């Protein structure tokens, strides 16, 4: 009597290797896709948290609760620096794309375990600041260069003023026509997003010869929109070092028949503008300036 063959001999080793290889390829293809979806879900959570904080700030604004004009979302969930799933991104009515870099209303990028601070500044609007440490725990540096006088120093303006025996000068960023302003703006553009002078209103004032008597005044506000005769907060930088938080009164000026609003009226004595706390770093002065705006000191 003959035995019947069942025909169930199993897989050969070659067939098993092929199956394993196919599975490996499928996994290799699917993992980046899965990781992308996972990162998108984290960024979605971060966006939801930031937008929730924005709602809280705006509620404080509507109820004039100045102590809560700022909110910070801590420990962001995303694992990759910057936005990867969304571009552009809209937060607090501000639409920002990765290619823009820092703007007046948007500073920095989101990073792993980082923070997002939303501050409402009366007369200016909302400012969104991303900070913290990246995935490799490398601190995210302050986005602006401390050298606020570099844009002026790199031009021939000071040398020409000294040659002409000028003892006092002013260069205001709102002046509609100025050869000196054009030269400074060219240097600011070269510095790109690293220069604070690319935002707000600023003015170089003082002595062309003595650094100890030369100053840079800066405010985040558009003085033409603020109007003349208004008190505004400013960061004052001495050319020989040091930053101060002070206050100026805007002034109407005319140039070639056109009116503009300068960051300050003509100044004879600078001592009152540098009588307060001295900050060695722009970052520290900038944070103090932002706090001043957020605490309701300048509600209008």
Residue-wise pLDDT tens digits, 196-248: 898 889 999 999 999 999 999 999 888 988 899 999 999 999 999 999 999 99
At residue 262, the pLDDT reads: 95
At residue 37, the pLDDT reads: 72
Which pTM was predicted? 0.62
Task: Report the distance separating Cα 93 and Cα 104, nearest Å.
Answer: 14
Element (H, E) at 129: strand 125-131
pLDDT beyond 60 at 7? no
Query: Mean pLDDT throughout 274-278?
Result: 94
Task: Report the distance separating Cα 113 and Cα 125, nearest Å.
Answer: 26
Task: Report the distance separating Cα 94 and Cα 88, nearest Å.
Answer: 10
- Give the CB-side neighbour count of residue 224, counting CA atoms within 13 A: 11
| DSSP strand pairing (125-131 vs 106-107) | parallel
Residue-wise pLDDT tens digits, 37-77: 788 888 889 989 999 999 998 998 888 887 778 888 888 88
Distance in angstroms between the alpha carbons of the first and the last residue of the chain: 107
At residue 217, the pLDDT reads: 98
At residue 34, the pLDDT reads: 57
Tokens of 134: 């990246």
In three-state secondary structure terms, 240 is coil
**DSSP assignment string, 174-238:** T-SS-HHHHHHHHHHHHHGGG-GGGSSEEEEEE-SS-GGGEEEEEESS-HHHH-TT-EEEEEEEE
Task: Report the distance separating Cα 203 and Cα 180, nearest Å.
Answer: 11
Residue-wise pLDDT tens digits, 159-210: 999 999 999 999 999 998 889 999 999 998 888 768 889 888 999 999 999 9
User: Please, are residues 122 and 299 in contact by the beta-carbon 8 Å criterion?
Assistant: yes
> Which residue, chain included where needed, has tokens 């001495």?
238
Residue-wise pLDDT tens digits, 95-133: 888 877 777 788 888 888 888 888 887 777 888 888 776
* Alpha-carbon dihedral sign for residues 88, 90, 91, 94: positive
In three-state secondary structure terms, 73 is strand
Query: Mean pLDDT throughout 269-292?
Result: 91
Query: Mean pLDDT throughout 249-273?
Result: 92
Nearest residue to 217 via CA among 254, 269, 264: 264
Task: Report the distance separating Cα 93 and Cα 81, nearest Å.
Answer: 22
């Amino acid at each position: 009597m003959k035995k019947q063959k069942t025909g169930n001999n199993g897989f050969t080793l070659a067939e098993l290797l092929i199956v394993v290889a196919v599975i490996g390829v499928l996994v290799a293809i699917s993992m980046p896709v899965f990781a992308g979806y996972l990162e998108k879900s984290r960024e979605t959570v971060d966006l939801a948290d930031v937008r929730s904080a924005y709602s809280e700030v705006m509620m404080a604004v509507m109820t004039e609760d100045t102590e809560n004009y700022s909110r910070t979302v801590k420990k962001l969930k995303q694992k990759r620096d910057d936005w990867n799933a969304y571009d552009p991104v809209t937060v607090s009515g501000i639409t920002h794309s990765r290619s823009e870099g820092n703007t007046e209303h948007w500073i920095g990028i989101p990073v792993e375990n980082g923070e997002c601070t939303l501050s409402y500044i009366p007369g200016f609007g909302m400012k969104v600041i991303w900070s913290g440490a990246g995935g490799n725990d490398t601190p995210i540096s302050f986005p602006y260069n401390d050298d606020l006088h570099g844009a002026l120093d790199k031009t021939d303006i000071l040398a020409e003023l000294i040659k002409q025996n000028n003892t006092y000068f002013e260069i205001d960023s709102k002046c509609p026509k100025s050869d000196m302003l054009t030269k400074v703006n060219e240097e600011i553009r070269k510095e790109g997003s690293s220069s604070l002078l690319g935002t707000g209103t600023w003015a170089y004032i003082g002595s062309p010869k003595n650094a100890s008597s030369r100053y840079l005044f800066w405010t985040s506000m558009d003085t033409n929109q603020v109007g003349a005769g208004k008190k505004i907060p400013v960061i004052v930088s001495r050319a020989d070092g040091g930053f101060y938080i002070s206050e100026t009164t805007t002034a109407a000026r005319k140039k070639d028949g056109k009116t503009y609003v300068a960051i300050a009226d003509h100044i004879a004595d600078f001592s009152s503008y540098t009588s307060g706390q001295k900050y060695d770093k722009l970052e520290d002065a900038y944070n103090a300036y932002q706090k001043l705006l957020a605490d309701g000191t300048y509600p209008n």
